[in-house]
Structure 1
Amino acid sequence: MKFSAQISQAIDRCLTDEIPFVAFAMPGEAEVCFRASLPDGQFRSPAFRDKESDSFFINFFDNDEPYTAGVSFDMTEEEVNNFHDPTYHARIFGDSIRPRVSSTFRASYHEAFSAVKPRLKKDGGKVVLSRLRSLFTKKTPRLIAEEYFALTDSTFRYLCFTPETGVWLGSTPEVLLESDRATGLIRTMSLAGTRPVDESGDWDEKNIREQAIVTDYICHTLRNAGLEVEIRPLTERRFLNIKHLCTPIDARGDVSIPELMSALSPTPAVAGYPRERAIGEIGRVETHRRHCYGGYVGVRIGGDYHAFVNLRCAFMAPVTLSGTKGWLGNLYAGGGIIAASQEDAEWLETESKTRVLASVFLGENGQEGEEGSRLTRSSVSFLSDLPPSGHDDGQLVNSAGI
């Protein structure tokens, strides 16, 4: 999917000057929409400052901020390309949070799995363990987005920058919530259970159980909000090389959509069940922060919300690797662990979930942050750590281990 010349220029301008922006495409649509914010005095993108305005939003996994980061639709690509404000100065790129340099090692995943499995055997429930792959690429986020968007046209696709979150891109098949003010209909889905796309026959008990846990939680949350709920027939939903079990769910009633999104997120599909216990265990055993992975992302247009669970995504920042300029990306994937889970199968599932985006990142010249590779904390410098001249002075300000 080739972006238009105007959109390409606007994205590059926003990344250079750190103007909050989003380029997105709705599921099944080839058209890419671009919008950018005029930052307020605190350099915060006021996506929800006007409850009737169109905007893009992106939230963190732990869902504990009093506001949602995002992009208000203040400027089109043409307006960004003509934007000039002598009082505006770009800040240090992504200085609040940064991608991690090292990938999740197999041994670290083993320790996390071994820590949660005994409790699950004893008490039941589910914990979603995630891992990240840390990749270096010479491709820009725009070029990665163009290629990734073209491969995943049935999903919600986005590339964005906000000061709170840094640069993210993703392609998510999972609807958190879509609302239609005209009809009062609210649509969501329970998406859980994973297997290779070429595997046929009945789904195993582990995947069916995962699916039921998520469905029950979503329906309980909707009914708790006073909504009438209709559960539609179970189906399969394909995403490139894998497929998931999917239960579409409809609801009707009078409710605050932002409050409902907050109540639903994170669902057991990305956290576990019971949810609060699972989130606590994730914080104890995972060796990385999820940031916006597993949170929600989407747009509000004409008063209607289109919110999706932030999956198949990457968190990016500009770096140098041994003097070569490029971008560092953290690619995230997770899998639901229950009493019947097998560690090797769960690890391979995360491999499958990151394979396509990793192939786009790596191309011919990428590097992955594994043991023995060139991508290490001593070889990577974040551009915001370099002297004003833009040349590496050989010293790394080490704040990558987050």
Structure 2
Amino acid sequence: MQTSEFLEIAQNHFDDALPFVLYRKPNASVIKGVFQDDDIVYTSKDLTESGFVFAPFNAEKQTVLMPFSVSETLESSFAISEVTEQNTRDKKEVQQESENVLNDAKDFHINLVTKAINGIVEGRLKKVVVSRKEEVRLTESNPMALFERLLVKYSTAFVYCWYHPKIGLWLGATPETLLSITGNRFTTMALAGTQAYQGDDNPDWKAKETEEQQLVTDYLIASLESSVSNIVVAATKTIKAGSLLHLSTKVSGVLNSDLMEVVKALHPTPAVCGLPKTIAKQFILENENYDREFYTGFLGEINSKEKTSRNTNRRNVENNAYAAIKTVSNLYVNLRCMQLTDVKASIYVGGGITKDSIAEKEWEETVNKTETMKAVL
């Protein structure tokens, strides 16, 4: 199916106020779509269903499910095409509006970071991730056009457009995998540290970022020990997401428990919450002064059936006879995202605070992160 036809189907679903999600996995050339037949809000309690889930940051709230059983699933190959440039005058107007909003938000965020640093110095926290929401007036309100721009700009990210008429419209391009499972093999990642891309794919990282990354990695390993075996920790690498760089460490192994148990152990990760997790989460809920909703939650397909083969050589018919159907789940942390209405986009950004954090620089990091999403608007 051509991309234009695929997006037209999604637009018709949107016009009919029916739930759907469009998504493309990192480094993939195929867009998938799940188009729900009704407007019921389905939920998942234990992640045993088969479908696409959208979960909030606060795990005490409901995880929304688009079940494959009541949905049509479609695929389309995607080739990068020309994306319409925004009008320069509109971009300047949006920038000016944004600067006015930033002047009001800066003091609050710096005070929030300072409070977090004090909590770490006092020993109550090791790390905490604080965030903010920034609203931007839309010059392009067509979600399909925005989704296509995300596809072009973020080829290495999980890109999605999620809509439910009773909940809202979200788009994003996240670089972080929460959990990938094929059969009983799992992969997750520790992602922390951020700096602007300056043309060097392997820049120097300061002690603050490397310490933060190690905290996240150590926590993931400790959290998984009771649920998995044969854990393998790969070397930490620098990855690029749009105009930003991050530190990433891949962790893999064999799963000895069910999906829900592992997700409970991981979510929310220290990369979006902090350590100790319970205390950091309470700090966030009490001090951020807004509801994160689905920002820093997780999303993706669960318990889908995929055909796997021992041999990638299609001409080897004998080995392909051993192809099997395996259960696959791919979940991603909802970073670099925005919520859309008809007239505005709410952009969500945050950063990890440690004892070495400097409040002014943490503010600047959130500004850099908002720019990655504003570039799409």
AA at the equivalent of 1:22:
V
Which sits farther off after the overlay, 154-163 or 185-194?
154-163
Cα offsets for 1:160-190 (capped at 9, x unmatched): 1135641111111111100011xx2100010
- Correspondence for 1:317: 341
Cα offsets for 1:27-56 (capped at 9, x unmatched): 11122112211237xx21357899463x21
- Correspondence for 1:333: 349
- Correspondence for 1:354: 370
Mapped pair 1:57 → 2:73:
no
Report the alpha carbon displacement of residue 289 of structure 1 after superposing the two structures with TM: 1.1
Report the alpha carbon displacement of residue 8 of structure 1 after superposing the two structures with TM: 2.1
AA at the equivalent of 1:71:
M
- Correspondence for 1:376: none
AA at the equivalent of 2:259:
I
AA at the equivalent of 1:180:
T
The partner residue of 1:304 within 325, 328, 336 is: 328
Mapped pair 1:44 → 2:41:
yes
Is residue 170–residue 339 contact of structure 2 (8 Å, CA) maintained in 1?
yes
Report the alpha carbon displacement of residue 61 of structure 1 after superposing the two structures with TM: 0.3
- Correspondence for 1:290: 292
How many Å separate the matches in 2 of 1:342 and 1:244?
18
How many Å separate the matches in 2 of 1:163 and 1:60?
17
How many Å separate the matches in 2 of 1:3 and 1:339?
51
- Correspondence for 1:27: 26
- Correspondence for 2:126: 125
Alignment of 1:229-240 (within 5 A): 229-240=231-242
- Determine which structure has the larger helix proportion and give its number: 2
Mapped pair 1:168 → 2:170:
yes
- Correspondence for 1:72: 67
Is residue 187–residue 250 contact of structure 1 (8 Å, CA) maintained in 2?
yes
How many Å separate the matches in 2 of 1:265 and 1:297?
11
- Correspondence for 2:308: none
Q: Check 1:328–1:77 CA distance in 2 against 1; reply closer, same or farther (3 A cut).
A: farther
AA at the equivalent of 2:128:
V
Alignment of 1:376-395 (within 5 A): none
AA at the equivalent of 1:256:
D
Report the alpha carbon displacement of residue 201 of structure 1 after superposing the two structures with TM: 4.8
Q: Check 1:224–1:164 CA distance in 2 against 1; reply closer, same or farther (3 A cut).
A: farther
Report the alpha carbon displacement of residue 76 of structure 1 after superposing the two structures with TM: 4.2
- Correspondence for 1:188: 188
Q: Check 1:206–1:252 CA distance in 2 against 1; reply closer, same or farther (3 A cut).
A: same
How many Å separate the matches in 2 of 1:72 and 1:274?
34
Q: Identity of counterpart residues, as a percentage?
A: 27
SS in 2 for 1:15: helix
Is residue 110–residue 360 contact of structure 2 (8 Å, CA) maintained in 1?
no
Report the alpha carbon displacement of residue 228 of structure 1 after superposing the two structures with TM: 3.3
Report the alpha carbon displacement of residue 269 of structure 1 after superposing the two structures with TM: 0.3
SS in 1 for 2:12: helix
How many Å separate the matches in 2 of 1:308 and 1:258?
15
AA at the equivalent of 1:333:
V
SS in 2 for 1:250: strand
Mapped pair 1:262 → 2:264:
yes
Paired positions, count: 323
SS in 1 for 2:121: helix
Runs of 4+ in 1 over 6 A off after TM superposition: 47-50
- Determine which structure has the larger strand proportion and give its number: 2
SS in 1 for 2:72: coil
Cα offsets for 1:77-121 (capped at 9, x unmatched): 69xxxxxxxxxxxxxxxxxxxxxxx77711211221222221211
Question: How high is the TM-score relative to the length of structure 2?
Answer: 0.80
AA at the equivalent of 1:137:
L
Q: Check 1:34–1:287 CA distance in 2 against 1; reply closer, same or farther (3 A cut).
A: same
Cα offsets for 1:59-88 (capped at 9, x unmatched): 0001113x421322312469xxxxxxxxxx
How many Å separate the matches in 1 of 2:45 and 2:34?
15
Cα offsets for 1:311-333 (capped at 9, x unmatched): 00011122xxxxxxxx3211111
Structure 1: tracts of 5 or more residues without a match: 79-101, 319-326, 362-402
Please provide the CA RMSD for this pair. 2.3
- Correspondence for 2:88: none
How many Å separate the matches in 1 of 2:291 and 2:24?
27
How many Å separate the matches in 1 of 2:73 and 2:347?
29
Cα offsets for 1:292-312 (capped at 9, x unmatched): 010111113312011111000
- Correspondence for 2:135: 134
Is residue 170–residue 338 contact of structure 2 (8 Å, CA) maintained in 1?
yes
